[in-house]
Chain A
């Protein structure tokens, strides 16, 4: 079929065809596959900053706990199963706990009232700041 005939053919069809579902399913399968197959220990270490100063650098492969106090406030950080999370905090809003369990390089947990930042850095200390498209 020549180009014009093909265009006429496509213009006569619907915007979506049944076979597109196969493409969608394939994409979902690959996405789910990578999501579940990918090993979970992506980040190398969690850097804990209080008031902008680095107070601790905790490797994610060692289970540990750390409580960072600043004035009246405190945040209790735990590392378990290669993930870092805040399990207890003095602040009212509990936002830092709501961040959940983080393990990928570049992810962060932030507590504004206690001025605490937990940053996950890669194995060689590289984050993800060079990806462009």
Chain B
């Protein structure tokens, strides 16, 4: 059981890390706000939360951020990805634990993407000591919402069409 759990977490971490690295190679979505990304890696954090539980998802998130910053050679990005990742994870965890009856996975993912992007802009604001960065928040929220829809849809379809098989394999 324990080995199975490690394998599952490792597999999800590897997938998240791959998404993280591939995404870091893509050009920024908004030419004027290079920090905004699609957050493909969040699909796997969310999936880990849904399939494996909170502790494993947290591990997937932290390891992905640490290794991602090392593999992409951009260690300064760690500050952004980890702070935003942890806060949005907290929101994701709380909503999934307490509001799953009302909110769909899509709604949780939207909220999570919004928090993620807002925190990133706020960290950028602190790091650059320039409040001008805050003007990006509206744009970042809107573009981030589109990404949140895709993340939510991806996780929903896995749960809907694949969860039984995945859980059976994880037993």
Contact = CB atoms under 8 A, between A and B. Distances in A.
A131 B33 contact: yes
B36 A133 contact: yes
A19 B167 contact: no
Given A42-B135, A133-B35, A30 B141 contact: yes
Interface residues of B, number: 50
Interface residues of A, number: 42
30 contacts: A3-B51, A4-B167, A7-B50, A7-B167, A9-B100, A9-B101, A15-B105, A15-B160, A16-B107, A19-B99, A19-B102, A20-B106, A30-B114, A30-B137, A30-B141, A31-B137, A32-B138, A34-B134, A34-B137, A42-B135, A43-B132, A105-B130, A107-B32, A128-B32, A128-B33, A128-B130, A128-B133, A130-B127, A132-B77, A133-B120
Contacts of A53: none
Contacts of A38: 134-135, 137
Nearest to A44: B132
A105 B128 CA distance: 12
Given A7-B163, A126-B130, A15 B104 contact: yes
Contact of B124 (A8, A35, A124, A131): A131
B34 A131 contact: yes
Contacts of A26: 111
- Chain B interface mostly helix, strand, loop or mixed? helix
Interface in A31-65: 31-32, 34-35, 38, 42-43
Chain A contact residues: helix, strand, loop or mixed: loop
B104 A17 contact: yes
A10 B105 contact: yes
Nearest to B124: A131
A113 interface: no
A21 to B, nearest CB: 8
A7 B52 CA distance: 11
